[in-house]
Amino acid sequence: MKSFLSSCTTGGCGAKIGPGELSKVLSGLPVFQDPQLLVGFDASDDAAVYQINEDTAIVSTVDFFTPMVEDPRTFGRIAAANALSDVYAMGGAPLFALNLVCYPEREDIQDLGEILAGGAEKLQEAGAVLCGGHSIYDREPKYGLAVTGRLDPRRIWKNNTPQPGDRLILTKPLGVGIVMAALRGEMAEAEAIEAALASMQRLNKYAAEKARDFPIHACTDITGFGLLAHAREMAGGSTTIVLHPSELPYIAQAYTYAQGYLLTAAGQRNRNFMEGAVEFKDIPFPLQELMLDPQTSGGLLLSVPGDCAQEALRAIQEAEPQAALIGEVVSRQALPILLR
């Protein structure tokens, strides 16, 4: 497994195609009409939702990527936690999953077994069932899951339906992409690596369970597009997201690494995508990078009514102590994102 990082051009959600490029491709696809399809790819949401009956809808998602760590079992856990996250971000609960595997013939097959074992651990923790999967040989190892879950069609958490007056809760610290870039450059401190690995392996199940006790107006998980691009999606066309950079939770060493320009190509793609949508002005460069940093298995961004936001935060902090209120939602301004 020791050759995996050196053989991969990128890893984790930093491998995602940039949001700008992806939107161009998706715009050319035909529009599918089905009254039972409640959420499709046209909304750039975290997963698809298909209604079965009045009380039940299924939520379906798929996610996979190349390794960002050397240890195969850890990679499996992270990839599985990341794939499961989209179900939690929609307000659902996972039911079953299928493995997706690409693996080089030259690599030790026992390492693949460790990857799958790590993924299975997270599925067991989530209370979901592994039903099978599909595998092919490839030049670079890749692993992930296709996950199916269940939710109440009357309580879907969409990613673009915040309301003015809402406040925003982020449930995990930012900076894992920057820490992984430092790891690749052999400059990451042990404490930073430990914090990043713990965050990426942590299921969003626990934050979502706490959040279900409150009226969530919108939700998304922060992954490869970074906080700002995901917040831009959340703003939609009718609201503006106001973020307070000084309130952001982040891995402390990631700020230092960003100061030293230990950055990612995906972060630069995210910066390009946000051009014209946000003005950084006097925001320190490291904080800019933390908001643009591609997160792998990042936290939930929840839009909660202002009158219950503090109560919701306290409840979520019982499961995620680093969760924080990081902004609010206002009526549409000149830009979709404001930094104050």
Q: Is residue 24 part of a domain?
A: no
- What pLDDT does residue 220 have? 96
In sequence order, what DSSP letters do the residues of 64-105 get, joined into one string?
A: EE--SSS-HHHHHHHHHHHHHHHHHHTT-EEEEEEEEEEE-T
Is 3 annotated for ligand binding? no
- Cα separation, 239 vs 28, in Å, equals 27
Angle made by CA atoms 228, 329, 290, in degrees to the nearest 5? 25
**What is the CATH classification number for the domain harbouring 234?**
3.90.650.10
How large is the average pLDDT for residues 185-212? 97
- Domain contains 106: yes
pTM: 0.92
141-155 as b/e, with b when 16 or more CB fall inside 10 Å? bbbbbbbbbebebee
221 is in an annotated binding site: yes
Domain count within the chain: 2
pLDDT (0 to 100) of residue 26: 74
Last residue of a domain, one of 99, 126, 151: 151
Say whether both 100 and 172 belong to one domain.
no
Q: At which residue do the structure tokens 């680093």 appear?
A: 322
Q: Which two tokens stand for residue 20?
A: 């700008």
CA distance linking residue 220 with residue 160, whole number of Å: 9
**Residue 298's domain spans which residues?**
166-339
Q: Is the same domain home to 88 and 134?
A: yes
Q: Is the pLDDT of residue 7 over 60?
A: no
One of 13, 102, 131, 308 is an active-site residue; which one?
13
Averaged over 20-47, what is the pLDDT? Answer: 81
Residues 176 and 281 placed together within one structural domain of the fold: yes
Residue 1: pLDDT above 50? Answer: no
For the question of residue 13 being annotated catalytic, the response is: yes
Q: Model confidence over 228-255: pLDDT tens digits?
A: 999 999 999 999 999 999 999 999 999 9
**In this structure, what CATH number is given to the domain that contains residue 63?**
3.30.1330.10
* One domain, residues 147 and 199: no
Mean pLDDT calculated for residue range 129-145: 97
What is the rounded CA–CA span in Å between residue 115 and residue 22? 28
Q: Is there a binding annotation on residue 42?
A: no
- Residues 285 and 174 occupy one common structural domain: yes
Residue 46, annotated as binding a ligand: yes
236 and 332 inside one domain: yes
**Is 25 within the bounds of a domain?**
no
Whole-number mean pLDDT of the chain?
93
pLDDT higher than 70, residue 213: yes
**Mean pLDDT throughout 257-262?**
92
pLDDT of residue 16: 60
Q: What mean pLDDT is predicted for residues 305-332?
A: 98
- For residue 225 the two structure tokens come to 């597009």
Torsion of CA 253, 322, 128, 102, to 10 degrees: -20
Whether residue 152 is annotated as binding a ligand: the answer is no
Residue 9 has pLDDT above 60, yes or no: no
